[in-house]
């Protein structure tokens, strides 16, 4: 495989993807703006690990800057682009929608144009399961009608459409749109449920549980997600596909929290407080991975107990926990 481009390389999933690619001796060029949505120290810690690999090169910058990105394309012959850079978070999209317009929509449009101009053969985009919105029928298939409930999800749908219109050329290149479901794992963002819960448990602080704990999520372990992305990079057909990435085993938030509590016999007393559901959040996510299994031949996904144990082991050994608050 030729050198690949990974946007958002110091982000949560991007970091793990780069590690998987580098372990296979694939040359990786990473781009990241290292913005301050959460601790830049955590992002720099991830980046420090990546820079230990001789096959990794990095350039700091925002793909909103067309000249910056084009300069990178001119100097490299990318055949594959993994586009993970985006503004994450559902609730923050109500506070700062411009960040989502710029970092999701405009940035993707720039990348689509340059990938087309410089003859990228395969573009793999990380969208989101949030594009589906609330559903009554489960598991959710890839061809399900999209009904986004928040602006973050709307920008992801817009990105999918931009890539289809600007980059994809039937029978000439490949566009793979992935929709991961609620990813968790080591080096996760501070606003993610696992990190928030453990931080509060360690300090004997109350964990807020919304919708009275009845939300259900199809949590997917980050190593499963990146394993799938690497396999998809070997997809040979020149067409467009959309695929869910999920374990297809939803769990109620309250039960997920209980599994975290059981990791180290945390004191449960008075540490959980229930609240009503929040604006823009889906009641349940439960994706179908039938197409994913057929496409990738991946049959097993990491169970919650194993995934949480590994994540908690990382948390306990991570030297810079202050970056996780």
What whole-number distance in Å separates Cα of residue 22 and Cα of residue 30?
A: 12
Does the residue 210 lie in any domain? no
Q: Is 100 a catalytic residue?
A: no
DSSP state of 132: G
pTM of this structure:
0.96
Kindly name the residue from 132, 152, 168, 315 that is annotated as catalytic.
Answer: 152
Domain ranges, residue 133 = 4-187+220-249+287-302
Domain count, the chain: 1
User: Is 266 part of a structural domain of the chain?
Assistant: no
Alpha carbons 201 and 294: distance in angstroms, whole number: 40
Q: Domain of 13: which CATH number? A: 3.40.50.720
Give counts: helices (H), strands (E), the chain.
12, 13
**Residue 201 belongs to some domain of the structure:** no
Rounded Cα distance, 151 and 165, in Å? 21
Residue 12 lies in a domain: yes
Instruction: Return per-residue pLDDT of the chain as tens, 325 residues.
Output: 679 999 999 999 999 999 999 999 999 999 999 999 999 999 999 999 999 999 999 999 999 999 999 999 999 999 999 999 999 999 899 999 999 999 999 999 999 999 999 999 999 999 999 999 999 999 999 999 999 999 999 999 999 999 999 999 999 999 999 999 999 999 999 999 999 999 988 888 888 899 988 999 999 999 999 999 999 999 999 999 999 999 999 999 999 998 998 888 776 656 788 899 888 899 999 999 999 999 999 999 999 999 999 999 999 999 888 878 7
CA–CA gap between residue 2 and residue 78 (Å, rounded): 7
Three-state DSSP class for 251?
strand
In a domain, 192, yes or no: no
Q: Is residue 145 part of a domain?
A: yes
């Amino acid at each position: 495989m030729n050198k690949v481009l990974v946007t958002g390389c110091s982000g949560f999933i991007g970091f793990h993807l780069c590690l998987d690619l580098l372990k296979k001796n694939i040359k990786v060029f990473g781009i990241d703006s290292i913005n301050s949505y959460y601790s830049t120290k955590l992002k720099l810690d991830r980046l420090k690990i990546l820079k230990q690999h001789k096959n990794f090169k990095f350039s700091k910058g925002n793909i909103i800057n067309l000249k910056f990105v084009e300069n990178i394309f001119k100097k490299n012959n990318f055949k594959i682009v993994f586009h993970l850079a985006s503004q994450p978070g559902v609730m923050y999209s109500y506070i700062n929608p411009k960040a989502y317009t710029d970092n999701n929509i405009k940035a993707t449009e720039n990348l689509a144009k340059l990938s087309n101009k410089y003859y990228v053969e395969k573009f793999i985009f990380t969208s989101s399961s949030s594009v589906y919105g609330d559903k009554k029928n489960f598991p959710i298939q890839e061809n399900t009608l999209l009904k986004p409930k928040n602006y973050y999800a709307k920008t992801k749908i817009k990105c999918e459409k931009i890539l289809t219109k600007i980059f994809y050329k039937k029978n000439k290149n490949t566009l793979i749109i992935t929709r991961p479901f609620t990813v968790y794992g080591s080096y996760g963002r501070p606003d993610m449920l696992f990190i928030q819960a453990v931080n509060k448990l360690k300090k004997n602080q109350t964990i807020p549980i919304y919708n009275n704990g009845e939300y259900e999520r199809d949590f997917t372990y980050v190593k499963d997600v990146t394993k799938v992305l690497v396999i998809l990079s070997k997809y040979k057909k020149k067409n467009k596909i959309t695929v869910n990435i999920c374990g297809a085993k939803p769990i109620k938030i309250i039960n997920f929290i209980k599994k975290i509590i059981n990791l180290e016999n945390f004191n449960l007393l008075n540490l959980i407080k229930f609240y009503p559901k929040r604006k823009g959040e889906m009641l349940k996510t439960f994706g179908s991975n039938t197409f994913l299994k057929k496409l990738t031949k991946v049959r097993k996904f990491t169970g919650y107990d194993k995934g949480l144990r590994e994540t908690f082991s990382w948390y306990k050994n991570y030297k810079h926990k202050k970056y996780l608050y």
